[in-house]
Amino acid sequence: MTETRGRLANRRIALGITGSIAAYKAIELIRILQTEGADVRVLMTPSAVEFIGTLTVETLSRHPVDSDLLSLQGDGRIGHIAAAHDVEAIVVAPATAHWLGAMANGLASDTITAACLATSVPVVVAPAMDGGMYSHPATQANVARLREFGYEIVDPENGVLASGMTGQGRLAALTRIVDAVVEALDGAPAAVTLPAAAMPAGFAAQPVDSTPAESAAASRMTAPSRNDLAGRHVVVTAGGTAEPIDPVRFVGNRSTGKMGIAVAEEALDRGAAVTLLLGHHSVEPPDGAHLVHVETVAEMQAALRAFTPPEGPLFNILIMAAAVSDFRPRHVADRKLGRGHGLKLELEPTPDLLAETAERVKAAAGAHGRHPVLVGFAAEVGDLDRASEKLRAKGVDMIVANDVTEEGSGFGTDTNRVTIYATDAPPEQLPMLSKREVAELLLDRVVVRLGGTVRPDTAGAADNAPNPEAPVSVEAGR
Ligand code: CTP
């Protein structure tokens, strides 16, 4: 778990490890950075991988190691480019003579040089090598060049080296390196982050705090941002569930998945890693999302449970836009039922997945109350009065309610008129908008709850609309 106090509390740091014998010390550096509150993701050169492997590093950092220049993350982004944009500082420790030379000349032949070239965040470099190698004019020229780039160099120390000889080449004391990172970040505002949780490969969870006091403080920030969900993992449910009656028929609903898919697209555009738990749908899901196809309530429940282990949720934001069936046949026939003399179906209620997930998330959050932002949808018929009760009963932060009988606001429409109910604000009616615009305004509010910024042009829009959750109907399963 990331410490919430410390000089690097809520900071996202990339640690680059290159192939020096001192690479083993980087393991301890990860722990110290974490103790200071940082969420550390690691980039390694292939030779560093030869020295210390990746298993320990991945286990400690709780992120996959990026050591392959051509590897894609689960969200489709190139790993080192994602790191370059998602972190607040890069520290390269230990940095070999070869790496210093490559960096000084802009040769992006490993993930660390590539990330450093692509980033605009502070870079701290701690060289480690044989004393003769360090004092060589070539190395000194490379170090000088890196200083010209504005990189902070933490000089190696004098002492006994791996060769048994004495010289200036020992990796600096780890506390000096950490101090340099703190100093490099001094003055830059910290992102608000969640306890780091182990993520499915390719995803990095950033801690969230949804306490009302911090939300209120966050809402005073108005700097525009189009990348305000970078480093966040958003789980979106979309589409409708289908409960089998027999091998060809099911109890389903009219959801097309449009609203949830619009939310997923908007989150991707804002830099998030997105997992889409997708039921029946009739529009294309976005390319960049990690898709988990589900058919039944039980399958969606299993997927949600996988993302909410007892140690803590594996996402920063959950948006449940799917139309989850409220009933399912108590018995499922294993053969196609004939027309015969008609059919009497006995339906049993399904579990409330949103309420259950909120409970699991809050149990994991414990006494400090920090948890991801949880958003449900409510498809109502007529007035929306029940939405505020659902907000309370399901234990979520927001409910987005709409009247599915209103023209332009039901299933399959491209538009929606919603009212957003939140635990920390009065109900907010949005006007009739496209589902994408609804998604945008909703995520603006979610970003505020995360402690981020909201774009001034969309802050505080008033008035209404989206999504699915459907009346049960019995349809042919085609
Ligand atoms: N939901 C859920 N599990 C269910 C039914 C609904 O997680 N079995 C979720 C939906 O995805 C939605 C929210 O709960 O985000 C509200 O759904 P809604 O159908 O409006 O509420 P219900 O609790 O089903 O209440 P009712 O059907 O009585 O309106």
Q: What is the pLDDT of residues 396-440, one digit of tens each?
A: 999 999 998 888 887 889 999 999 999 999 999 999 999 999 999
**Residue-wise DSSP of 134-174:** HHSHHHHHHHHHHHHTTPEE---EEEE-TTS-EEEEEPPPH
Instruction: Tell me how far the alpha carbon of residue 378 lies from the centroid of ligand 1, in angstroms.
Output: 6
Instruction: Tell me how far the alpha carbon of residue 469 lies from the centroid of ligand 1, in angstroms.
Output: 6
Indicate if the pLDDT at residue 183 is higher than 50: yes
Domains 12-214 and 233-464 in one fold = yes
- Active site (annotated) includes residue 227: no
More confident residue, 16 or 474: 16
Indicate if the pLDDT at residue 14 is higher than 70: yes
Indicate if the pLDDT at residue 186 is higher than 70: yes
322-355 pLDDT per residue, tens: 999 999 999 999 999 998 889 999 999 999 999 9
pLDDT band at 209 (very low <50, low <70, confident <90, very high): very low
CA 35 – CA 52 distance, rounded (Å): 21
Q: Is the CB of 403 under 6 A from ligand 1?
A: no
Coil, strand or helix: which one is 476? strand
pLDDT at 371: 85
Mean pLDDT of the region 33-48: 94
Tell me, yes or no, if the pTM score tops 0.75: no
pLDDT at 228: 86
Q: What is the mean pLDDT of the chain?
A: 84
Q: Ligand 1: which of 324, 357, 389, 403 to mutate, judged by most atoms within 8 Å of the beta carbon?
A: 324
pLDDT at 211: 40
Going from N- to C-terminal start, the domains of the chain cover: 12-214, 233-464
Residue corresponding to tokens 């969420």: 39
CA 423 – CA 409 distance, rounded (Å): 24
Q: Ligand 1: which of 354, 381, 419, 473 to mutate, judged by most atoms within 8 Å of the beta carbon?
A: 354
Q: 233-464 in CATH: which number?
A: 3.40.50.10300
Q: 12-214 in CATH: which number?
A: 3.40.50.1950
Mean pLDDT of the region 314-322: 95
Structure tokens at 296: 């039944």
Instruction: Tell me how far the alpha carbon of residue 290 lies from the centroid of ligand 1, in angstroms.
Output: 24
Q: Which residues contact 344 (CB under 8 A, 6 or more apart)?
A: none
Residue nearest to atom 24 of ligand 1 (CA): 326
CA 249 – CA 254 distance, rounded (Å): 15
Q: Is the CB of 352 under 6 A from ligand 1?
A: yes
Q: Is the CB of 454 under 6 A from ligand 1?
A: no
